[in-house]
Amino acid sequence: MTLREMIGQKLVVGFPGTELDGEFIRLVEEYKVGNIILFRHNVESEEQLAALCAELRRRIRAATGAEPFITIDQEGGVVTRLPDDTTNPPGAMAIAAAGGEENAYEMGYLTGCRLRALGVDFDLAPVMDVNSNPDNPVIGVRSYGDDPAAVARYATAMMKGLTEGGVYASLKHFPGHGDTAVDSHIGLPCIDKSLEELEQGELIPFRAGIAAGAPAVMSTHILFPQLEPGGVPATMSRAIMTDLLRGRLGFEGLVISDCMEMQAIATHYGTVNGVLAAMNAGVDLVFVSHTAALAKEAVLRAEEAVAEGKLDREEIEKSARRILEHKARCAALRPVGGEMSREECRAAVGALRQKSVTAVQLPAGGLPALGETPLFLGCPDYRSTLASSAASGDFTFAEEMCRLAGAGQALVTPKDPTDAEIEAITAKAAGHSCLVLGTYNGHILKGQLALARALAATGLPMILVALRNPYDLAELPPHVAGLAAWEYTPAMFRALWPVLCGETPPQGRLPLARLR
């Protein structure tokens, strides 16, 4: 392979639409970029996705002589990329709430089967992060909980399900993104912990996944000053990506980066500088997920760096060989037990969602009855982090629950209401038999919890439903019921309805020790 071909094997790029554009095609044909990341904006339907993946494979094979990795973030729950005509599973914390590591395996297996059938062969999941910080704006329900041992069990089961379902999996975000209040998509977090502290928490799931045969590990763009005193995040640190991950933890698979266009890298170091530093740190696959011009510049700068002795050509060659070896292994994967039918997938996912609904607090008399004139309230969906899929404006919690009830009234509220808006909303509560408020990250957008307190002060029967992180339910008055429902989707609303109307008791168990 030429130097350019080897560098191209190390890059993963994206493109903006549902069809390939000229800029992307030039990246493949002239700059030999050999791997793809797909997002929700690339996907319209299963049929379109399968055709797109087939075209990607054809073009990349012709230009590079090798199969591409076609990667996607299909975690389930709040991070899903597959279209509405497929079956998207619940997320990590919902799976843990439902209980049973076999459920994590099954969700991984059905995800792997569907991805492989559509032409995607590399899922950027599972999340191994321990969500020990309630103020974490980007992980939260993407984690299996705040107990490292439990996270290790569930996430490893998910990884096994993915690989036995026919796709590669990647443990993320090494060495841990759970204990931060900053989203690395928009800032540069810092976790000031010693190696010994990390070994007692964050590294436990990664060690378990590596021991179970993880094919890949994804880095995080977080400063760990006690591991890397040079002022660069984990992705750019040889001490972390090579000495710790490969040396101390004994990992021999693919080391991959999170996207180098995230602001933690782009703002503080520059995307292309970050790409070169990541390669020097020992990262095999480096993601430039959105901008073709940056990917092109990265190829040219990497060639210059090798010529100037700033990048080790021998390491580039070794990394490229490793990538090709893993591509061959990945291409040979197939579902070990055969593909699950759509009906089987739909039934398994629906049952698990219903089982995941969790009562964090119930009044002495149990879940309040809705009565004849319930009032359903809550803000619309919104994109709380760039890691999540884009918000849908097609439905709201309040309106969907009112439709399912066939009675009462729906009131769509602001996502962070002001005092004046709270007063006006609360005035409309009078005369209703029960108040049902859905919150979406109210522990971060405090106006939602202020509204909850104001509604609770009316003394009316009330149910608060946390539609993402259950930390919204931390401090409820005794007469208010608190339910964790994990995600803002019509599928979860349908799973929630039998619990709200009293047909089914909440069955989930909270996977967060601090809220029990």
Spatial distance between the Cα atoms of 243 and 255, rounded to a whole number of angstroms: 12
Spatial distance between the Cα atoms of 14 and 36, rounded to a whole number of angstroms: 6
Place of tokens 């975690």: 75
Spatial distance between the Cα atoms of 311 and 104, rounded to a whole number of angstroms: 40
Radius of gyration of the chain (CA): 23
- One-letter amino acid identity for 70? I
What single string gives the DSSP state of each residue in 57-80?
HHHHHHHHSSPPEEEE---BTTB-
Instruction: Identify whether 284 is a catalytic site residue.
Output: no
Report the length, in residues, of the chain.
Answer: 516
Q: Helix axis angle, 46-64 relative to 101-118, nearest 10°?
A: 70
201 by DSSP, 3-state: which?
coil
Query: What is the number of H-type helices and E-type strands within the chain?
Result: 18, 14
What single string gives the DSSP state of each residue in 286-320?
EEE-S-HHHHHHHHHHHHHHHHTTSS-HHHHHHHH
> CB-based contacts of 510: which residues, under 8 Å, 6+ apart?
97, 358, 360, 470, 484, 516
> CB-based contacts of 158: which residues, under 8 Å, 6+ apart?
92, 95, 104, 105, 107, 108, 125, 126, 169
Torsion of CA 342, 346, 349, 354, to 10 degrees: -170
Spatial distance between the Cα atoms of 397 and 489, rounded to a whole number of angstroms: 8
The closest of 252, 260, 305, 259 to 282, measured between CA atoms, is: 252
Spatial distance between the Cα atoms of 171 and 155, rounded to a whole number of angstroms: 8
- 112 neighbors 164 (Cβ within 8 angstroms): yes
Instruction: Identify whether 185 is a catalytic site residue.
Output: yes
- One-letter amino acid identity for 87? T
Q: How many CB atoms lie within 10 A of CB 312?
A: 14
Which residue of the set 177, 185, 221, 432 is catalytic?
Answer: 185
Instruction: Find how far residue 399's CA is from the centre of its chain.
Output: 27
Ramachandran class of 142: left when φ > 0, alpha when ψ lies in -120 to 50, beta otherwise: alpha
**Distance between terminal CA atoms of the chain?**
57
Which residue of the set 73, 179, 258, 472 is catalytic?
Answer: 258
**Residues assigned a catalytic role:** 185, 258
